[in-house]
């Protein structure tokens, strides 16, 4: 089955999707700030321009959208139109993510990936619990660790 909207409408819709300051990213930033963490955002000097950089803890946090980064969860579905484009795009995003994480680990950074599905539709107390777990991990991590949080 083809797309239900015209290609110009779909193009306009897709171009409106943000890459920075997304809703999941802002939820995590606000919660970390309430827990007393101070951070920088989108530091271009680091591989992958992490969403959140906690220099004091040598930790970076990526908040990944399940669709754009191809997370195999209930949110992600392979598109049924323009299949070749989307397959290349999503697989390319995954490879770039792996390369950026490897580069950060080689530089001694700890990497935390929070997937959209870990936050979407959750109540405030569930998000608070997740952020408390992340805060504990940040404080006790050894150099070069990768932690992923999914819903």
| Residues annotated as catalytic (active site), given as ranges | 51, 63, 69, 97
H-helix or E-strand containing 109? none
Phi-psi region of 72 (alpha: psi -120 to 50; beta: other; left: phi over 0): beta
Pairing assessment for the beta strands 52-54 and 59-64 based on DSSP bridges: antiparallel
């Amino acid at each position: 089955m083809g797309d239900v909207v015209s290609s110009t409408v779909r193009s306009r819709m897709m171009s409106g999707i943000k890459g920075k300051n997304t809703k999941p990213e802002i939820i995590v930033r606000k919660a970390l700030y309430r827990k007393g963490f101070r951070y920088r955002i989108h530091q271009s000097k680091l591989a992958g321009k992490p969403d959140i950089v906690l220099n004091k803890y040598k930790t970076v946090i990526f908040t990944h959208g399940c669709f754009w980064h191809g997370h195999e969860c209930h949110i992600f579905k392979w598109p049924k139109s323009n299949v070749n484009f989307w397959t290349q795009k999503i697989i390319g995003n995954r490879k770039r993510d792996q390369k950026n994480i490897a580069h950060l680990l080689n530089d001694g950074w700890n990497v935390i990936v929070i997937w959209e599905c870990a936050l979407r539709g959750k109540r405030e107390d569930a998000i608070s619990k997740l952020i408390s777990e992340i805060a504990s991990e940040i404080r006790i991590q050894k150099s070069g660790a990768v932690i992923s949080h999914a819903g």
